[in-house]
Every structure is written in structure tokens, then in C-alpha cells.
Amino acid sequence: MLYMRSVKDDRTARAVIRDEALRLFGAHGPDGVSVRQIAAAAGVSPALVVHHFGSKEGLREVVDQHVLDTFDEALAEMTQPGAPDLYDPAATGSLAEAVLRHLPSDSPLPGYLRRLLLDDSEAGRILFRRLFTVSQGVLSTLSQAGLASEGNDPAVRAAFLMANDLAVLLLRDRLTEVLGVDPFSPDGMRRWASEVLAVYGSGLLAAAPRQEEP
Amino acid sequence: MLYMRSVKDDRTARAVIRDEALRLFGAHGPDGVSVRQIAAAAGVSPALVVHHFGSKEGLREVVDQHVLDTFDEALAEMTQPGAPDLYDPAATGSLAEAVLRHLPSDSPLPGYLRRLLLDDSEAGRILFRRLFTVSQGVLSTLSQAGLASEGNDPAVRAAFLMANDLAVLLLRDRLTEVLGVDPFSPDGMRRWASEVLAVYGSGLLAAAPRQEEP
DNA sequence: ACGTTGACTGAACAAGTGTTTAGCATGCTG
DNA sequence: CAGCATGCTAAACACTTGTTCAGTCAACGT
């Protein structure tokens, strides 16, 4: 448990520290992890952590920025080339899901993004604002395409859709427990998206259509 | 700042400690608050805290239980007598809001409930399960009254509605920032509920009706 | 009046925190 | 080769943490 770095690892020690910090911060929060734990996970001495990043706070800022960059990259990837996913009405409520599908299933990024959104940090504010802008853009595009209405209060409607979307990420573990299925698993995503689509499509009142077989 | 207790305060010191812990835990999380800070806020010595509660962990458990009890009380109040709020279709998406309206606007309870839902604690699991059951009950009742459909996947639909509802609580500060209005303020609740009602009523596609004037 | 119980405090303790310092290699550059 | 920066560590520092201990004070029952 002391030395976590595998024998073949061409990342610099600095990168290893950053990655382990990302993983541990995401899992337990910055206050729930000590510099010594990060150092042990990275297989280095505690002093090296502060040597590379100045302080624990400095490390946190670097990780924040790194996560923000990675997220932007993933977002740009799916918003630029053809963008079949984003502006598909069937994908309306799964913006976050779409981003997460671009990541390995054991990625520490979702957990860290979750904390960014929940904790009161500058990076979190930036992230949230960016997501809100995207949500507004999607709603606007759908509206112009005649696939949705912006409603009486477009800003609130965009916020509502985004909040609903993020709720799955924020409450993932809890939902997994009561539903018996991880909403981010293939099966869970199918079931969740199906209901979201039904409600967004024609409201709560509409009679349930037959289960469609693909 | 040292002695927070007002001169007239008939609560026992034990109750004062519990209340201050509730407030501080809700604001900064149990790990973000020291026993000394709680003691100072309550105007007592740190030793008295552990004298009454055994340990910091013991205090946390008592506060958890206290919050759970208070919440159940508030829930029972609005689910029993006539229950005009709960099973009103116009109140579908505002279960949490309805509970919060029963509290003073500066109550520390919402913040603590938020942490219960987000952190991985036993009390949080119980709370979430309880909320899920209520959501299922509401959906079932609305369905029997012909005011909503349970959809193809009633459990997921109930979870979806609950998650959307809770998202406002979890993201309150962030939403306040991008929208410029607190979604729990009278104005914010009106705007938010209006969009929720519109979407739940007839989906995203429906044309925006005229703003209704009461 | 005495003794016991309970609320309560100041001081101390062991453990863990982030950070500093001095020093050891190693490898590049003059 | 000398010199200097770089990556890195062990040890220590000052501080905070939760908790313990000995003891004071007031209230209450006998």
C-alpha cells in the first residue's frame, strides 16, 4: 500500500502526485485527505508535494485547473465535430451523461466535478457558469429547430434542465441504493433517459406508451 | 464572538451545544468544525461538549437524529391534516419547497439536510429513502386521481421527480448566482415553479402560454 | 448538616496537521 | 573537472485536533 506507482510509469513524479491528489480529493474532499496520504499514494515523500506545488492549497488549485481543462476538452470534442449527440432532442436531458460517456468508467473525474459543483470554490463557479451557458445554448438551438419551447422564462427553464441533469451526478450513490441500479450504468441510463424523455416530451399526464423494442 | 448565548436563554447548555453544532455542521460540515469552535459558539468549555455527548462523533449522531426527528415532524404536519399542499398537482415538483416553507428563512436545517443527502451517512440514507417513499406515494396518488401517469417505470419516474426537486436545494447557491435570484425566495419560487409546472404539464415542446395574472 | 450527584472548567496529552530546513544525490553546463 | 540547478528525502517545527483528568461549584435528598 505504501508505493502505489506501478513499476512502469513514465509520468513525472509531479504528474503522479497531481493524479493521486485528483483521485483522493474527489473521493474524500481536500479536507479529508492529508498531504502525507497523497504522498504515500504517489510513492513520494510529503516534502516533495510541497516542493512541486508550494503548498496543499497550491496543489488544489493546480488540480482544479487540470480538471477544468480536461472537462473543457471533453466538452469541445462533442460540441464541435458534427455534434450528433448534443443537439439531439433525445439527448436533451443527458448533457452530463454525454460528457461522462467520454470517460473510462473508473475515472475519478466525475467525483471531482461533483465536489467542484457542491463546494464553494472559484473553479466550481466557473464550471457551473459554463454548464449553464451550454444549457442555454442547447435550449435555444432546440427552440429554433422547433423541437422545444424556451417557455416564459428561458433562463429558469435552462437552469431547470441543467439542475435536473446534474442531480443524477450529485445523488448517484443514493439513487443507486433506492433503485437497485446505478443510473450511470448502461441499464440505468436507458431506464432513466426513457422516463426523462417521456416527461420532457409530453409531460407527466400523458398515458404511458408501449415499451418500444429497438 | 466568544460568548454567543444571549443573556436570556432558557435552553439547557446541552441543547445550546446541540443547536450550535447543527448550525456549524450544516455550514461547514462536521470535519470543517472543531469541538473548540462549537464550544465557543455555545459559550461553554470544550470539555463540556464531550461531557454531554461522549465524543464529537456522538454529538454528530445526536444532531443527525434531532434533524431527522424535526424533519419527520414537519413532514407529518403537511401530510396529515387535510393535506392541501402535498397532493395538489401544482405542488408536484415542490415537495422540498413545501417542507422548507414550514421553516424560518434563516433556519440551519436546509443546509444540514443538504449535507445529510450528499455525505455518506446512515441518517442520510434513511432520509433519502423516506423522501423516495413519499415521492412514490405522491406519484401513485396523482396517478389514481388521473392527474399524472406513473409511466413505464414508476420507480424511476418517482426518483426523477424527487431528484429534480432536491437539485434546487443542493445547487441553491450556484443557481442564485447564475439566475440572479434565490430559487427559495418568494420571487424565485414563483419563477421556478412556473417553469416546472409548464414542463411537467405538457412537456418541453408545448408553446409558452401567456403569463397568467392572478 | 452532610454526602452525593451532576454540571462545568483549566490544563494537559498524544496524535496528526501543513510546512520548513538541511542535506543528499544526480545530471547538465560552463 | 568544477559548479550549479534539480529532484528528492529525513527530520524537525509549530500548531491544531479530539480527548482525558483532576478538581471546583451549586443543588438536592437524607
- Does the structure show a pLDDT above 80 at B93? no
The reply to whether B12 falls in a domain is: yes
Higher pLDDT, B155 or A84: B155
The reply to whether B148 falls in a domain is: yes
pLDDT at A105: 85
The reply to whether B208 falls in a domain is: no
A121 interface with B at CB cutoff 8 Å: no
The reply to whether B109 falls in a domain is: yes
> Beta carbon of B29 within 7 Å of strand D?
no
Tens of pLDDT, residues B38-86: 999 999 999 999 999 999 999 999 999 999 999 998 888 777 665 555 5
**Which nucleotides in chain D lie closer than 7 A to a protein CB?**
7-12, 16-22
| Distance, CA of B207 to CA of B205 (rounded, Å) | 6
pLDDT at A49: 97
Residues in chain A predicted with pLDDT less than 70, given as ranges, are 1-10, 80-93, 207-214
- A118 & A151 share domain: yes
pLDDT at B213: 41
Tens of pLDDT, residues B100-147: 778 888 999 999 999 999 999 999 999 999 999 999 999 998 899 888
Instruction: Name the nearest CA neighbour of B116 among B138, B131, B106.
Output: B131
Over pLDDT 70: what percentage of chain B? 85
How many degrees, rounded to 5, is the angle at CA A107 between CA A102 and CA A112? 105
- A173 & A81 share domain: yes
- B132 & B193 share domain: yes
- Does the structure show a pLDDT above 90 at B150? yes
Grid cell for residue B203: 412537456
Domain boundaries, position A36: 1-54
**Contact between residue A141 and residue B187 where contact means Cβ atoms under 8 Å apart:** no
Domain end, chosen from B9, B31, B54, is at B54
| Distance, CA of B52 to CA of B48 (rounded, Å) | 6
The reply to whether A211 falls in a domain is: no
One-letter amino acid at A207 equals A
- B77 & B46 share domain: no
pLDDT at A214: 38
pLDDT at A76: 84
**Contact between residue B86 and residue B155 where contact means Cβ atoms under 8 Å apart:** no
pLDDT at B78: 77
Higher pLDDT, B99 or A14: A14
Tens of pLDDT, residues B23-33: 999 999 999 99
Q: What is the band of B99 on the pLDDT scale with cuts at 50, 70, 90?
A: confident
CA quadruple A192, A198, A204, A207: dihedral sign = negative
- B2 & B78 share domain: no
- A159 & A183 share domain: yes
Grid cell for residue A209: 406508451
- A97 & A191 share domain: yes
Q: What is the signed CA dihedral for B110, B93, A134, A128, rounded to 10 degrees?
A: 0
- CATH number assigned to the domain comprising residue A32: 1.10.10.60
- B184 & B162 share domain: yes
Interface of B with A in 150-179 (CB under 8 A): 150-153, 155-157, 159-160, 163-164, 166-168, 170-171, 173-175, 177-179
| Distance, CA of A150 to CA of A136 (rounded, Å) | 9
A116 interface with B at CB cutoff 8 Å: no
For testing contact with chain B, the best of A205, A211, A212 (most B CBs within 10 A)? A205
Query: What is the ipTM metric for this complex?
Result: 0.89
pLDDT at A91: 56
Compute φ and ψ for A25, nearest 5 degrees.
-60, -45
- B144 & B167 share domain: yes
- What is the chain A residue with the closest CA to B183? A156
- A45 & A72 share domain: no
B55 interface with A at CB cutoff 8 Å: no
The reply to whether A193 falls in a domain is: yes
A90 interface with B at CB cutoff 8 Å: no
pLDDT at A110: 95
The secondary structure of B24-77 as a DSSP string is HHHHH-GGGS-HHHHHHHHTS-HHHHHHHHSSHHHHHHHHHHHHHHHHHHHHHH
The reply to whether B211 falls in a domain is: no
Query: For chain B, how many structural domains are there in total?
Result: 2
pLDDT at B5: 54
pLDDT at B19: 97
Q: What is the band of B154 on the pLDDT scale with cuts at 50, 70, 90?
A: very high
- B91 & B193 share domain: yes
For testing contact with chain A, the best of B157, B172, B204 (most A CBs within 10 A)? B204
Mean pLDDT over the full length of chain A: 88
pLDDT at B92: 55
Tens of pLDDT, residues A192-211: 999 999 999 989 987 665 55
Compute φ and ψ for A125, nearest 5 degrees.
-60, -45
Instruction: Name the nearest CA neighbour of B108 among B55, B163, B140, B66.
Output: B66
- B35 & B77 share domain: no
Q: Which long-range contacts (CB under 8 A, 24 or more apart) does A45-51 make?
A: A48/A13, A48/A17, A49/A17
pLDDT at B210: 52
Tens of pLDDT, residues A122-152: 999 999 999 999 999 999 988 998 889 999 9
The reply to whether A50 falls in a domain is: yes
